[in-house]
């Protein structure tokens, strides 16, 4: 019978990804309810020594495949390794991070194992019999659906990064590390890597605000923009401003976000001391992730923020520069 809760522990360049540790945290909660063990799958090349970290964060057993075929992420070798282990050990659950790796590998694997998969879960619960209740947003977050996979094992899900809580690491925790060997079918690999380039991390704070991945944007609540520029450099982003700072001449018009400025859609928009007049919101509300820091709790910017913090913007910028 299928048992144990498994976590696919994603690593990149040998670094365990935060989402893997978060999943070990939730796996531990689920396993406590059913009396199962938490299993971690660790795939990569020269990554063996990371197994202890996974135990510290909640794994009872770590299945390690250390093989040069797994040095770069490619779907087929990763799918072959995971499928072989899943068939051999029959876990009842396998969790993946909903990253560009997890969302590539998990569906391939679900079809190979002929089982169900639920994408982008934001909540996981189970009952004593080990049935998993997987809750996910649908229709752009307008609706939440709880999905079950009653008759197939393993139950599989990808889980959004940043939603689950990690455990406090305990390096005295005992666990088992099992080194696994995979029987490769290289005829199925099909895809070869010509090159792999990490994103350009150069600092260009005066680059076009429409092209920046991260925008550090300042409003009336920020008196001195020099620390904001320092922050923009540290996060490899660019600086932008609301109309208030442009009107007083602190920032150039080319940096203005909003109806009379530019419309931006960065991966992260950090709004410091910006109240969020409707004209400003029109220029940035499509950003993928919005952080707002403002002393006024009722500022409209908080209505569009994914992370809203009531605090003094200048002081937060100062602390960010210290941290980074």
Partner 1 sequence: MKIIVCVKQVPNTTEIKIDPVTNTLKRDGVPSIINPDDKTAIDVALQLKEKHGAQVCVLSMGPAQAENALREALAMGADEAYLLTDRAFAGSDTLATSTIIAAAIKKLGADVVLCGRQAIDGDTAQVGPQIAEHLGVPQITYAAAIDYDEESQALIVKRQFEDRVQTLQVKGKCLITVLSTLCKPRYMNVWDIVNQDEKEVGKITFADIEVNPADIGLKGSPTKVKSTATKQFDKTIETLELDAESAAKAIVDALKQRHLI
- In the complex, the smallest distance separating the C-beta of residue 126 from partner 1, rounded to whole angstroms, is 12
Per CB under 8 A, contacts with partner 1 among 163-202 are 163, 188-199
The reply on whether position 241 binds partner 1 by CB under 8 A is: no
Question: Of 141 and 249, which CB lies nearer to partner 1 in the complex structure?
Answer: 141
Report the C-alpha gap between 57 and 48 in whole angstroms: 16
Question: Of 194 and 226, which CB lies nearer to partner 1 in the complex structure?
Answer: 194
Tell me, rounded to whole angstroms, the distance of Cα 307 from its chain centroid: 15
Q: Interacting stretch for partner 1, rule CB under 8 A, among 23-31, 71-79, 169-177, 254-262?
A: 71-79
Per CB under 8 A, contacts with partner 1 among 12-31 are 12, 18-19
> Residue 214 gets which letter from DSSP?
E
For 305, the token pair is: 């923020």
Quote the Cα angle for 214-105-140, to 5°. 50
The reply on whether position 309 binds partner 1 by CB under 8 A is: yes
- In the complex, the smallest distance separating the C-beta of residue 297 from partner 1, rounded to whole angstroms, is 7
Contact between 92 and 100 (Cβ < 8 Å): no
The reply on whether position 119 binds partner 1 by CB under 8 A is: yes
Does an H or E element contain 112, and which? helix 102-113
> Residue 200 gets which letter from DSSP?
P
Which of 52, 122, 259, 279 touches partner 1 by CB under 8 A? 122
Site track for partner 1 across 255-294, x = CB under 8 A: ------------xx-x------------------x-x-x-
- In the complex, the smallest distance separating the C-beta of residue 139 from partner 1, rounded to whole angstroms, is 5
Which of 169, 207, 300, 308 touches partner 1 by CB under 8 A? 308
The reply on whether position 232 binds partner 1 by CB under 8 A is: no
Question: Of 248 and 310, which CB lies nearer to partner 1 in the complex structure?
Answer: 310
Report the C-alpha gap between 203 and 217 in whole angstroms: 16
Which of 33, 45, 48, 152 touches partner 1 by CB under 8 A? 152
Handedness of CA 18, 20, 21, 22 (dihedral sign): positive
Looking from the CA of 231 toward its CB, the CA atoms found within 13 Å total 27
Quote the Cα angle for 138-144-145, to 5°. 90
The reply on whether position 129 binds partner 1 by CB under 8 A is: no
Phi then psi dihedrals of residue 271, to 5 deg: -100, 110
Q: Which pairing describes strands 290-294 and 268-272: parallel, antiparallel, or unpaired?
A: parallel
The reply on whether position 254 binds partner 1 by CB under 8 A is: no
Report the C-alpha gap between 5 and 204 in whole angstroms: 45
Does an H or E element contain 313, and which? helix 313-323
Question: Of 242 and 287, which CB lies nearer to partner 1 in the complex structure?
Answer: 287
Q: Interacting stretch for partner 1, rule CB under 8 A, among 39-47, 51-59, 85-93, 160-168?
A: 160-168
The reply on whether position 229 binds partner 1 by CB under 8 A is: no
Three-class secondary structure of residue 170 per DSSP: coil
Is the N-terminal amide bond of 154 cis, ω within 30° of 0?
yes
Contact between 52 and 174 (Cβ < 8 Å): no
- In the complex, the smallest distance separating the C-beta of residue 234 from partner 1, rounded to whole angstroms, is 8
Which of 139, 172, 174, 183 touches partner 1 by CB under 8 A? 139
Question: Of 278 and 309, which CB lies nearer to partner 1 in the complex structure?
Answer: 309
Count the site residues for partner 1 by CB under 8 A.
Answer: 91
The reply on whether position 101 binds partner 1 by CB under 8 A is: yes
């Amino acid at each position: 019978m299928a048992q144990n809760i498994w976590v696919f522990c994603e690593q990149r360049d040998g670094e365990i990804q935060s989402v893997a540790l978060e999943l070990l945290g939730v796996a531990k909660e689920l396993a406590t309810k059913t009396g199962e063990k938490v299993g971690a799958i660790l795939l990569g090349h020269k990554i063996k020594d990371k197994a202890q970290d996974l135990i510290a964060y909640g794994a009872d057993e770590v299945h390690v495949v250390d093989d040069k075929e797994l040095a770069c992420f490619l779907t087929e070798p990763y799918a072959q390794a995971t499928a072989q282990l899943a068939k051999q050990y029959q876990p009842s659950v396998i969790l993946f991070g909903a990253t560009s790796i997890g969302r590539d590998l998990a569906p391939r694997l679900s079809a190979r194992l002929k089982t169900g998969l639920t994408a982008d879960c934001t909540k996981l619960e189970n009952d004593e019999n080990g049935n998993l209740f997987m809750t996910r947003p649908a229709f752009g977050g307008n609706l939440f659906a709880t999905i079950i996979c009653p008759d197939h094992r393993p139950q599989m899900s990808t889980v959004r990064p940043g939603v689950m809580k990690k455990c406090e690491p305990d390096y005295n925790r005992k666990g088992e590390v099992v080194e696994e060997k995979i029987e490769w079918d290289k005829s199925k690999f099909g895809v070869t890597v010509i090159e792999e380039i990490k994103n350009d991390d150069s600092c260009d704070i005066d680059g076009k605000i429409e092209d920046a991945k991260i925008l550090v944007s300042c409003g009336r609540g920020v008196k001195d923009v020099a620390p904001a520029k320092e922050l923009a450099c540290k996060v490899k982003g660019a600086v932008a401003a609301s109309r208030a700072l442009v009107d007083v001449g602190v920032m150039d018009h080319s940096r203005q976000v909003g109806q009379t400025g530019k419309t931006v859609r960065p991966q992260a928009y950090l709004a410091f001391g910006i109240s969020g007049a409707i004209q400003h919101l029109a220029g940035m509300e499509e950003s993928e992730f919005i952080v707002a820091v403002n002393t006024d709790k009722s500022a409209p910017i908080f209505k569009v923020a994914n992370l809203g913090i009531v605090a003094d913007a200048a002081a937060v910028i100062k602390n960010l520069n210290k941290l980074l």
